[in-house]
């Protein structure tokens, strides 16, 4: 591998040359079934013809003008996302970290306008919100923060899923202005927030005048079987961060807001150079159009049930499998031991998977999987787990 790149990643010694649907081919011509989709990014798979055509056409028409001017494609995308999410306004950026950074800044302005001089945001253990200084501080993983002190002030951490702990924070911390959390923790090990818990958090936010801010960077855009994971529980957030699946590989993020939260930012409060440019918005509009016309959101739910059921039936008697959990095509298989080497074993057998939180095999395949491909992925993981746990 080249020495010209900073060593910020422990990369696998494989380079991919091309992709089609749920499949990738490396530079040696080997074929892989993609169970990761670029970490929940390529929901429509690789080289989707509609996205390709939209990008080629837009690249030959207009790529960038700056947010100093109206961008009609950005306005169309904002209308599409707010319609799907039940929100009022959108701010477009380039990544999930930037979307969460926008949410944190919005919360601080929200607090200052209520004369709270030191506004605080409640964040969760085992969360992941990005690698900017504010978002890594919000992240509930010491490994992400180590070496980057001093961290940003203004965060209070709570155990994920513990409503009583959040109520205690409400009782003892008058500076809280918002809660930032993932409805499904991805990097933290595919941990689901119980629907009753989410409804309880919503009620606490309403009671205390806090903003409920959901990080749906990984769980949004159809991956869990609804357009957004919060829609399983029947609640609505005040602020929501999106990215990964929105552009199917084009870098784009969004921070959505509704109600009073949607009126917090004013000209000059926040901005971005590249965010929401015509090229990125054209790709995202193509993604939404395809997902709606082909029913891929519902398809994600059905495929997730199919894969999870197959895994559960085959691994039910394996004492080293602690739990199989997930929602839609966001699936985790937790083992009783660290299992990072399964990533390399999977590649050797033609499967792309991920391991997070040391012991959790994470599957985030494209939403365009066929039934046969879904079965093939599940069978590949089953074989890997059985061989690994036999020692």
Q: Is 128 a catalytic residue?
A: yes
- The answer to whether residue 91 is catalytic is no
Q: Is 248 left (phi over 0), alpha (psi -120 to 50) or beta?
A: left
Cβ contact 155:125 at 8 Å: no
Please identify which of the residues 91, 215, 228, 351 carries the catalytic annotation: 215
Told to judge if 215 belongs to the known catalytic residues of this protein, a careful annotator would answer yes
Rounded Cα–Cα distance for residues 203 and 320 (Å): 38
State in Å, rounded, how far the first CA of the chain is from the last one. Answer: 31
Do 352 and 36 contact (CB within 8 A), yes or no?
yes
CB-based contact 219:182 (threshold 8 Å): yes
CA pair distance 50, 121, nearest whole angstrom: 40
Q: How many helices (H) and strands (E) does the chain have?
A: 12, 17
Catalytic position from the list 128, 228, 265, 351? 128
3-state secondary structure (DSSP) of residue 31: strand
Report which of 264, 145, 241, 111 is spatially closest to residue 186, judged by C-alpha positions.
241
113-136: burial string, b at 16+ Cβ within 10 Å, e else:
eeebeebbbbbbbbbbbbebebbb
C-alpha–C-alpha distance, residues 246 and 288, integer Å: 8
Cα–Cα dist 292/309, whole Å: 26
364 touches 333 (CB < 8 A): no
Q: Contact at 8 Å (CB) between 23 and 47? A: no
CB 264 within 8 A of CB 128: no
| Integer CA distances (angstroms), 363 to 25, 82, 332, in order | 19, 28, 6
Question: Is-cis flag, bond preceding 150, omega within 30?
Answer: yes
Strand, helix or coil for residue 200: helix
Dist CA 355 CA 382 (whole Å): 14
Pick the catalytic residue from 34, 91, 228, 244.
244
**In this structure, are residues 34 and 22 in contact, taking their beta carbons and an 8 Å threshold?**
yes
Catalytically annotated residues: 128, 215, 244
């Amino acid at each position: 591998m080249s020495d010209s790149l900073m060593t910020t990643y422990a990369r696998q010694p494989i380079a991919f040359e091309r992709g089609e649907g749920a499949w990738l081919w490396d530079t040696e011509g080997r074929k892989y079934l993609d169970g990761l989709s670029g970490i929940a990014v390529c929901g429509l798979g690789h080289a989707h013809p509609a996205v390709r055509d939209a990008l080629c056409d837009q690249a030959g028409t207009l790529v960038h003008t700056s947010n100093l001017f109206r961008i009609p494609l950005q306005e169309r995308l904002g209308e599409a996302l707010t319609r799907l999410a039940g929100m009022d306004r959108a701010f477009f950026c380039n990544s999930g970290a930037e979307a969460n950074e926008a949410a944190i800044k919005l919360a601080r302005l929200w607090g200052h306008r209520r004369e709270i001089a030191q506004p605080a945001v409640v964040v969760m253990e085992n969360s992941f919100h990005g690698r900017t200084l504010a978002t890594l501080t919000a992240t509930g993983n010491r490994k992400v923060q180590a070496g980057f002190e001093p961290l940003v002030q203004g965060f209070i951490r709570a155990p994920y899923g513990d409503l009583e702990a959040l109520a205690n924070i409400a009782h003892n911390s008058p500076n809280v202005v918002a809660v930032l959390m993932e409805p499904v923790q991805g990097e933290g090990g595919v941990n689901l927030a119980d629907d009753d818990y989410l409804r309880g958090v919503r009620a606490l936010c309403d009671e205390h005048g806090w903003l409920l801010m959901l990080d749906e960077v990984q769980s949004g855009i159809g991956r869990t079987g609804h357009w957004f994971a919060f829609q399983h529980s029947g609640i609505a957030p005040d602020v929501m961060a999106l990215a990964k699946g929105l552009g199917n590989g084009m870098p784009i993020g969004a921070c959505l807001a509704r109600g009073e939260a949607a009126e917090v930012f004013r000209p000059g409060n926040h901005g971005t150079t590249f965010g929401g440019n015509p090229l990125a918005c054209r790709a995202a509009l193509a993604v939404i159009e395809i997902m709606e016309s082909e029913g891929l959101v519902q398809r994600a739910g059905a495929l997730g049930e199919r894969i999870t059921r197959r895994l559960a039936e085959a691994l039910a008697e394996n004492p080293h499998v602690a739990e199989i959990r997930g929602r839609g095509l966001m699936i985790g298989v937790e083992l009783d031991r660290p299992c990072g080497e399964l990533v390399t074993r999977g590649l050797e057998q033609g499967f792309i998977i991920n391991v997070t939180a040391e012991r959790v095999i994470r599957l985030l395949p494209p939403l365009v999987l066929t039934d046969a491909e879904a079965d093939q992925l599940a069978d590949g993981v089953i074989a890997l787990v059985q061989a690994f746990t036999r020692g």
